[in-house]
Structure 1
Amino acid sequence: MSVIEVEKGAQAPAVLKAVRILDLLALSPGRARSLSDIARELGIAKSSTSNLCASLEEGGLIRRSGGGYLLGRRAVELGSAYLAGFDQIREFYRICEESEVLTTQLVQIAMLDGARVLYLAAYEGRERFPLSAGVGDRYPSSATAVGTVLLAELPPDEVEALYADPNRLVTFTDRSTKDLETLQRKLKMTRERGYAIDEGEIHLSVVGLAVLVPSTRSGEPSFGIGASLVHPNDSPEERARVLAALRMAAAELTRPTIVPVEK
């Protein structure tokens, strides 16, 4: 999985290289990466990597652990401050706790991050499944229900451009979406029915359902809220109940648009 690429002619290449280091450490939480590993994987000279890591460490964004580096406390603080900017994330846990249906489900909320989704919150009303995403995890958008409902908000030409590189269509099982044509069909169906479904694309025994929490303010992202069900123990009745609860949650999380009153 690639990390952020430095664009040619960038105004501040050192800053972008520092972001690439943070992104690399975020992709392997809890696993310290040595200076040599970082330099080799990112293709940055070891001397430059050393200087960048020293600056990031001084700023508290990374920390030393044994013979390598991990994300630092400051990265957590910045992430928390970012999430605090979204009222919906603060409300997410309350809504799940108070919902008769969602309180017993594994529910997640995420935002689109290119060809991936970034999970912002997870309510664990039941035991986690294998490969269940946690806060801060990134999964391929094309294989997840929350990713599918967010991609469905994009016009087909933007989806085609996003997946110009077929390697972005990451597969986990034989049910995972493998090509752009299949993805476009899945997104069309999602738009028509108003919700997304993951039929064992991440894990064969897990079905994901997701609906959109659309953005109503300029500059803010839309969110996808979804729940994971055990298959084949789930039933059409259970899916309908969970889907209805997700739609109610999404409606409550969607900020009302303020319409100016004409004088």
Structure 2
Amino acid sequence: MARRVPAVERALDILELFLRTPQPESLSVPEIARALGLPRSTAHELVATLVARRYLRPIEGNPHRFALDARVFELGNAYASGLDLAREGQQVAREIAARCDETVHIAVLEGRDVFYIAKVDSTNALRLVSAIGRRLPAHCTAVGKMLLSSLTDEELEERFAGVDLLPTMTRNSIRTLAELRSELERTRARGLAWDNCESNPDVRCVAAPIYDHRGRMVAAMSISFPVVRDTPERFLELSRLVRRGARDVSLRLGARQLARDTEEPELPPWHLPAVADG
């Protein structure tokens, strides 16, 4: 492997500070130096270079604090414009959101995270931690579990090598790799993934797979909805709708041999009647 350039890595580390949760609107040189363990003089030189190249800009009225500048946005747009998936997915997401008035996401898998490339919000009051360009632990989300279900057992083991306990976002989040494997088996069997308040304690999601022209699962679409609007009838309606939306995106990406989902979606455990013991 070619030698990595420390100065380039430090500059990228500064930009990636703006991806952290909670996401800062601006940072000062001392904050950057402290967060990255850099000498203040080094941080100052790196920030000055990033400002000169329009990756950072000083805040108006407070020139000692810095925010992301236009060049970052331009790079993001250049990346997105090269992705038919992002463009086509956003259009279909709008159509699906208009039909159900719930929040629709499209995400891809990167490492052990999902990366959101499209989102259309509900007009209802609902706060979600996701946003285009944000990442969340894949095992805590319906889109993530859908995408992880496309991996072989060997690929899953490799991706989570050295991980004993999985990070959690709510008390419902999957905690172990054994639990995740079981959930992924069920996800493959039903062709839909569920999120039962695993990334947000007040929100559930249902997700379906998106395939490309080679038949590979390249993304997933989900519909997120608050627990207070979740009924068995509504859950089945949204399950059918997310399947339809994911299929539409797949066709736009050139997928040709898609099996039609003629089976009625199944209800999740929280909508099944409790079975009395004895």
Q: Output the CA distance in 2 between the equivalents of 1:150 and 1:252.
A: 17
Aligned residues: CA RMSD: 2.7
Partner of 1:104: 101
Does 2:74 align with 1:80?
Answer: no
Amino acid at match of 1:57: V
Q: By how many angstroms is 1:165 displaced? A: 4.4
Q: By how many angstroms is 1:114 displaced? A: 1.6
Partner of 1:237: 233
**Can you give the 5+ residue segments of structure 1 that lack an aligned partner in the other structure?**
1-7
- Sequence identity (%): 30
Does 2:142 align with 1:157?
Answer: no
SS at match of 2:247: helix
Q: Output the CA distance in 2 between the equivalents of 1:146 and 1:186.
A: 13
SS at match of 2:234: helix
SS at match of 2:27: coil
Q: By how many angstroms is 1:162 displaced? A: 2.4
Q: Judging changes above 3 Å, is the alpha-carbon distance between structure 1 residues 61 and 180 closer, same or farther for their aligned structure 2 residues?
A: same
Q: By how many angstroms is 1:257 displaced? A: 5.0
SS at match of 1:79: helix
Partner of 2:11: 18
Match of 1:169 among 159, 162, 166: 166
Q: By how many angstroms is 1:168 displaced? A: 7.5
Q: Output the CA distance in 2 between the equivalents of 1:11 and 1:155.
A: 31
Q: By how many angstroms is 1:145 displaced? A: 0.9
| Cα shift readout 1:23-74 (whole Å, capped 9, x = no counterpart) | 1122254521221222222233333322222221111111222332221111
What is the 5 A alignment of 1:106-121?
106-121=103-118
Tell whether the 8 Å contact from 1:35 to 1:50 is kept in structure 2 after alignment: yes
Tell whether the 8 Å contact from 1:175 to 1:200 is kept in structure 2 after alignment: yes
Amino acid at match of 2:123: R
Q: Output the CA distance in 2 between the equivalents of 1:233 and 1:119.
A: 24
Q: By how many angstroms is 1:236 displaced? A: 2.1
Amino acid at match of 1:185: S
Q: Judging changes above 3 Å, is the alpha-carbon distance between structure 1 residues 38 and 241 closer, same or farther for their aligned structure 2 residues?
A: same
Q: Output the CA distance in 1 between the equivalents of 2:35 and 2:214.
A: 38
Q: Pick which of 191-200 and 149-158 moved more.
A: 149-158
**Can you give the 5+ residue segments of structure 2 that lack an aligned partner in the other structure?**
258-278
Q: Output the CA distance in 2 between the equivalents of 1:100 and 1:122.
A: 9
> With structure 2 as the length reference, what TM-score do the two structures score?
0.80
Tell whether the 8 Å contact from 1:101 to 1:241 is kept in structure 2 after alignment: no
Q: By how many angstroms is 1:80 displaced? A: 1.4
Q: Which has the larger radius of gyration?
A: 2
Match of 1:247 among 240, 243, 253: 243
Partner of 1:51: 45
- Structure 1 residue ranges (4+ consecutive) displaced by more than 6 angstroms after TM superposition: none
Partner of 2:121: 124
Q: Judging changes above 3 Å, is the alpha-carbon distance between structure 1 residues 60 and 165 closer, same or farther for their aligned structure 2 residues?
A: farther
Partner of 1:256: 254
Q: Output the CA distance in 1 between the equivalents of 2:153 and 2:240.
A: 27
| Cα shift readout 1:171-204 (whole Å, capped 9, x = no counterpart) | 1221111111111111121122111100011222
Tell whether the 8 Å contact from 1:96 to 1:103 is kept in structure 2 after alignment: no
Partner of 1:199: 196
Match of 1:34 among 28, 33, 36: 28
SS at match of 2:229: coil
> With structure 1 as the length reference, what TM-score do the two structures score?
0.84
Match of 1:134 among 131, 135, 140: 131
Q: Output the CA distance in 2 between the equivalents of 1:140 and 1:42.
A: 23
Amino acid at match of 1:68: R
Q: By how many angstroms is 1:9 displaced? A: 7.1
| Cα shift readout 1:104-141 (whole Å, capped 9, x = no counterpart) | 12101111222221111211133353333122221111
Q: Pick which of 10-19 and 159-168 moved more.
A: 159-168
Does 2:179 align with 1:182?
Answer: yes
| Cα shift readout 1:202-252 (whole Å, capped 9, x = no counterpart) | 22221111112124369x981121011221531222222212111111112
Partner of 1:91: 88
Tell whether the 8 Å contact from 1:26 to 1:71 is kept in structure 2 after alignment: no
Tell whether the 8 Å contact from 2:104 to 2:120 is kept in structure 1 after alignment: yes
Q: Judging changes above 3 Å, is the alpha-carbon distance between structure 1 residues 129 and 170 closer, same or farther for their aligned structure 2 residues?
A: farther
SS at match of 1:117: strand
What is the 5 A alignment of 1:140-151?
140-151=137-148
